[in-house]
Amino acid sequence: MTAFPAALLPLPVAVPLVVCAAMLATAHVLPGRLPDILATLAALTVAVLCGVIATHAADGPLVYWFGGWEPRDGVHLGIGFSVDEASGWVAAFIGLLYALTFVFAWGFFDRTHGHFHILMLLFLAAMVGFCFTRDMFNLFVWFEVMSVAAFALTAYHLAESSLAGAINFTVVNSLAGFLMLGGIGLIYAQTGTLDFEGIAAAVARGGRDPVVAGAFCLVAAALMIKGAIVPFQFWLADAHAVAPSPVSVIFSGSMVSLGLFGLAKVSAVAFGGSDQVQHALPGLLIGLGSFTALLGGWMALLQRHLKRLLAFSTISHAGIMLTGLGALSVDGTGGMLVYVVGHGLVKGALFMIAGILLATQASIDEIALRGLGRGIWPAGIAMALAGLLLCGLPLGVLDQGTRLVQGALWQQGYGVALAAGAIGAALTGAAVLRAAGRIFLGLGSDPGDEAGAPSADEREKANRPLWLMLAPCCLLLALDIGLPAALIEHALPRAASAFMHRPTVHALAEGPGWLPWASVAAALAGAGFGLFRRHLPAFVVRPVSATQSAPTRVLEMLHSGLIGDYAAWLAVGVAAIAAVLAIA
């Protein structure tokens, strides 16, 4: 393999930025579909470039120093990009997800002078930069660019609920930005550098240090807010449910998991040498992750607003990713990286189906849509398949990631986290399958307990043919199922070791083979219960309803939509992380 010119590393960030600037300058004269075409091509270019970079990074990370400010005598002054194989592939996946989202949104945003595309390309550039950077402050800058684009995109419809959702999202994520900046200031004051490697070296030299622990606490809290980990998860359901569908695809498919990706990088590389942080991490990540997986799954089951249902499902899966990270092993982190891609593919497809329902049936409410999906049955098949994949059908990329995460947890004896992950996946799968059964088969009758969950009237433009919307959705599912497992098995041990800066391991452990099937069975049972509770004998239904209603009311009350409550929970969460770090 020839050496890849490292000077080309900033290209995947520069391309969308340049296209974005050119479109902004010419927006009012660009004819009809040109913004769609340009944006799709730009995203595809990013995907291909990142793929090329990733294949070249297989031999070792590629490094680029902006302005030629290379480190001298161990002093890191410049800002660098450093791309290992795993980061490169994650960025390539993000580029592809954007390209398919642009196809899905073809003509959706007529007469907006391409402003949607401009914001989305800015969003894409920020995500790729976030994957590539090796500098703490640069990480923060991409984090903020990502946030600002996301805030504006959430409020795109300028409807009452989307504005409220966007304000909640903005306030919580701005607080995350402030925490992160504070943490970065602390770590810089202690180590005198912002470079990941420089920080790692200084932290390893320093020994136990409350300032380093404090810095990690703030940075980790910020990234967990982005990753929607309990108790920072409140903003997500508000924002994802009200954003335009193509934006939700990106939010759930890549933005949330990127928060955890950042956490993986920061904790494995920059803070890898701090014993205090490394001691605290397993308990912290596995505890919060398990709790998040269960709570997200449970909340998903209670929703009748389809996009809100999917949003809570994303929270649950973010929890599962966090438990994989908490294993602190190459297996766990490798599994999590595969999980990020698999989850993005499946969840992206599901949000596209929600968008299809919004566009063709002018509703997103599961109960109101009952039986209305019969006319668009191909979408129903896709939704059922996606639901099965989500709860763990042993097929495709998501399943491979699940088994690796489970393998890591199994090996280290985290039985509770293993169970929580399986149950969380089963609950979200059950919710999606129940919704699919109700919408596309007309099953189920009385809304029952679900009627308590919030919903809202919404509609999106129905100016696109069904096949155009369905094609990217099916392609995402096909990619999840079709990517050869051998390819990932071959490359992952090396890529994950390089990502974590650990010596290469040769094979990764996998979890027990029966566990995914157990999740699928539980999901089918849960969906069946939701749809046919009328026909079930009372001695089955009554205990479930009785145990369900009180905690359900409490949970719905907690997700109040009030920004004040969310800020209070944020303070509680940061205090909890600080306490765990202090004890370690």
Partner 1 sequence: MSAVTSVLPYGVAAWLFGIGLYGIATSRNFIHLVGCLGVCQSATYVLLLGLGYRWGSIAPIFYDHPPGTPAVDPVMQALVLTDIVVGATLTALLLVLTIQAYKRGGSLDPEKLRPMRAGGKSGRDAGSGRVRDA
- Phi, psi (degrees; rounded to nearest 5) at 65: -105, 125
Asked if 367 is part of the footprint of partner 1 (rule: CB under 8 A), the reply reads yes
* Tokens linked to 274: 């701090």
Using the contact rule CB under 8 A, the part of the chain among 3-11, 14-22, 59-67, 163-171 near partner 1 is 163-171
Q: Which is nearer to partner 1, 79 or 255 (CB)?
A: 79
Q: Which is nearer to partner 1, 98 or 151 (CB)?
A: 151
* Tokens linked to 238: 């508000």
Q: How many angstroms from the chain centroid is the CA of residue 42? A: 22
Asked if 162 is part of the footprint of partner 1 (rule: CB under 8 A), the reply reads yes
Using the contact rule CB under 8 A, the part of the chain among 13-21, 140-148, 510-518, 524-532 near partner 1 is 140-148
Query: Residue for token digits 């709860």?
Result: 391
Asked if 194 is part of the footprint of partner 1 (rule: CB under 8 A), the reply reads yes
Asked if 456 is part of the footprint of partner 1 (rule: CB under 8 A), the reply reads yes
When binding is defined by CB under 8 A, the residue of 42, 166, 306, 330 that contacts partner 1 is: 166
- Phi, psi (degrees; rounded to nearest 5) at 120: -65, -40
Q: Which is nearer to partner 1, 229 or 570 (CB)?
A: 570
Using the contact rule CB under 8 A, the part of the chain among 87-95, 201-209, 270-278, 452-460 near partner 1 is 452-460
Minimum Å gap between C-beta 467 and partner 1 is: 30
Asked if 483 is part of the footprint of partner 1 (rule: CB under 8 A), the reply reads no
Using the contact rule CB under 8 A, the part of the chain among 3-11, 182-190, 271-279, 485-493 near partner 1 is 182-190
In order, the DSSP letters of 22-90 are HHHHHTTT--TTHHHHHHHHHHHHHHHHHHHHHHHGGGS-EEEEGGG---BTTB--S-EEEE-HHHHHH
Using the contact rule CB under 8 A, the part of the chain among 22-30, 40-48, 184-192, 479-487 near partner 1 is 184-192
Asked if 572 is part of the footprint of partner 1 (rule: CB under 8 A), the reply reads no
In order, the DSSP letters of 189-225 are HHHS--BHHHHHHHHHHH-S-HHHHHHHHHHHHHHHH
Q: Distance between CA 238 and CA 245 in Å, rounded?
A: 14
What residues contact 112, with CB distance under 8 A and at least 6 apart?
none
When binding is defined by CB under 8 A, the residue of 71, 78, 182, 206 that contacts partner 1 is: 182
Q: Which is nearer to partner 1, 145 or 397 (CB)?
A: 145
Q: Distance between CA 262 and CA 143 in Å, rounded?
A: 10
Q: Which is nearer to partner 1, 78 or 378 (CB)?
A: 78
Q: Distance between CA 432 and CA 347 in Å, rounded?
A: 11
Minimum Å gap between C-beta 248 and partner 1 is: 13
Asked if 557 is part of the footprint of partner 1 (rule: CB under 8 A), the reply reads no
Asked if 152 is part of the footprint of partner 1 (rule: CB under 8 A), the reply reads yes
Asked if 447 is part of the footprint of partner 1 (rule: CB under 8 A), the reply reads yes
Q: How far apart are the first and last CA of the chain?
A: 45
Asked if 238 is part of the footprint of partner 1 (rule: CB under 8 A), the reply reads yes
When binding is defined by CB under 8 A, the residue of 165, 282, 334, 424 that contacts partner 1 is: 165
Number of CB atoms found within 10 A of residue 360's CB: 18
Using the contact rule CB under 8 A, the part of the chain among 250-258, 464-472, 563-571, 576-584 near partner 1 is 563-571
Minimum Å gap between C-beta 401 and partner 1 is: 31
Q: Distance between CA 424 and CA 143 in Å, rounded?
A: 28
Which residues, numbered 343-362, are part of the site for partner 1 (CB under 8 A)?
A: none
Asked if 148 is part of the footprint of partner 1 (rule: CB under 8 A), the reply reads yes
Minimum Å gap between C-beta 208 and partner 1 is: 19
Kindly state the number of chain residues that form the binding site for partner 1, as judged by CB under 8 A. Answer: 59
DSSP class of 133: B
Secondary structure in 3-state letters for 297-346: HHHHHHCCEHHHHHHHHHHHHHHHHHHHHHCCCHHHHHHHHHHHHHHHHH
Query: Residue for token digits 């986290």?
Result: 417
Asked if 161 is part of the footprint of partner 1 (rule: CB under 8 A), the reply reads yes
Q: Distance between CA 520 and CA 423 in Å, rounded?
A: 10
* Tokens linked to 515: 């566990």
Minimum Å gap between C-beta 37 and partner 1 is: 29
Instruction: State the binding string over 513-552 for partner 1 (x if CB under 8 A, else -).
Output: ----------------------------------------
The Cα diameter of the chain in Å comes to 76
Q: Distance between CA 346 and CA 342 in Å, rounded?
A: 6
Residue numbers at the binding site for partner 1 (CB under 8 A): 137, 141, 144, 148, 151-152, 155, 158-168, 170-171, 174-175, 177-178, 181-182, 184-186, 188-189, 194, 238, 241-242, 304-305, 308, 365, 367-368, 447, 451-457, 560-565, 567-568, 570-571
